[in-house]
Amino acid sequence: MKPKEVLAFCREKNVRAVDLRFMDFPGVWQHFTVPVGKLTEDVFDDGLGFDGSSIRGWQAINESDMIVVPQPDTTVLDPFAAIPTLSMICNIQDPITREDYSRDPRNIARKAVNYLKSTGIADTCFIGPEAEFFVFDDVRFDQNAHEGYYHLDSSEGQWNRGRDERPNLGYKLRTKEGYFPVPPADQLMDVRNEMMQTMIDCGLDVEAQHHEVASGGQCEIDLRYQDLVKMADSMCLYKYIVKNVARKYGKTVTFMPKPLFGDNGSGMHVHISLWKNHEPLFAGGGYAGLSDMGMHAIGGLLRHAPALCGFTNPTTNSYKRLVPGYEAPVNLAYSQRNRSAAIRIPMYSSSPKAKRVEFRCPDPSCNPYLAFAAMLMAVIDGVQNKYFPGEPLDKDIYDLPPEELARVPKTPASLDAALDNLAKNHEFLLRGDVFTPDVIETWIAYKRAREVEAMQLRPHPYEFCLYYDV
């Protein structure tokens, strides 16, 4: 849509409020709302002001004024608001210089795409994420000076087989047996269908929905690939829809990677491909039907994976998932079909247009703008420098002899280690002024102070099991 078309749409749909949304630095959608009468054509150029110092990781208090600039092509009618409400995603600018803000995640993603075009390598980067999440019936948690705990519950959870539910009907999903069961074992079919239909009504292109492996309500809804910035926008809307549909059913959703001990965590495998003049560039006659460019893209992703994890797996909880034994890709290798490799080349179709690379490390706690942009920068670096990824590992990695497994590089074991890798290896992200030094420095400092060190200071409940009687 263009601005005039947005205003006409508001009149047609009797819109009463306009919700302006943007992504904060860590990766949570923010918003404020204005009456529809305040939305004029000038707003699409001039923007509206807000306090940038109140947004995590952004401005200092003495330079807090910033503006949001609505993007008319992101217009959607909010499916949950009580009165007709229009939603638009905004870019963030400095009100004095009118420059795009360096720490606006959407700006970073836009710059990554523009840098790709400037290299001449390709003109389009397609992204296809597979986000997993848990739908719980109840959640309680707290941490203070004298206690720390969490409690999760799900009507599907295998831990409720013996609960007096008056009646307990017995359809509980065993650990690691949640993949593709039909109802009544799958108790979330109707919830996912409503999530899927709401996404479609909001313009998202949904490919499939299904139950995932874990007990306790793990689900997945897949979107068809789109260009990078559009897909990051779509993932913001995706999370918004999933959480609010669940709330309608009296349930709650989390995208944290590892909420349950002893069962599979939630990943977000990301499919990536480069195109030029509407032609796919990763298809060829090499391994798994890949071109040299496709192989070099893998080389870039594997070379920079330890640093990429600082953005693609950005929480301390992310590294509870990245452990052996739960289908998690802790080994930095590539393979066709092998899902235990960090990079897989899907073999569902022989069509050149379907040829892509699947990076399996990311999880859905990431900021999609930053994660997708960082992945693209690693791919560009691999292509430009013709990094060869070594030989494929077409074996069950978890069954390798210890001496052979020891030779396979691993993902970082903690957020602290991932940030160390990012601090040492981020030059490839700075090219084209995509990730600026202040973005890297602020990200690392924020994550260390607010998450890594905060976790290190607090006793863990299991430490009492281990050490209380020492």
Q: Supply the residues annotated as catalytic.
A: 51, 130, 132, 212, 220, 269, 339, 358, 360
* DSSP per-residue letters across 277-326: TTEESSBSSSGGGB-HHHHHHHHHHHHHHHHHHHHHS-STTHHHHSSTTS
CA–CA separation, 119 and 427 (whole Å):
16
CA–CA separation, 65 and 378 (whole Å):
34
Identify each DSSP E strand in 45-122 by its residue range: 48-51, 65-70, 76-77, 85-93
Q: Which two tokens stand for residue 281?
A: 């560039």
Q: Which two tokens stand for residue 272?
A: 């990536």
Exposed, middle or buried: residue 164 (CB in 10 Å: 0-12, 13-18, 19+)? exposed
Q: From residue 343, give the alpha-carbon distance in Å to each of 191, 320, 336, 369, 382.
A: 31, 20, 8, 20, 14
138-143 and 148-153: which strand pairing?
antiparallel
Among the listed residues 310, 338, 324, 303, the one whose alpha carbon sits nearest the alpha carbon of residue 409: 303
17-23 and 85-93: which strand pairing?
parallel
**CA pseudo-torsion sign 319, 341, 422, 30:** negative
Q: Which residues is 253 bridged to in the sheet?
A: 135
Helix (H) or strand (E) holding 371: helix 368-385
Pair 300, 379: CB distance under 8 Å: yes
Q: Which residues is 301 bridged to in the sheet?
A: none
Interacting residues of 301 by C-beta distance below 8 A, sequence separation 6+: 308, 343, 357, 359, 375, 378, 379, 382
CA–CA separation, 149 and 135 (whole Å):
19
**Which residue blocks in 162-218 are alpha helix, DSSP H?**
189-201
Among the listed residues 263, 254, 240, the one whose alpha carbon sits nearest the alpha carbon of residue 22: 240
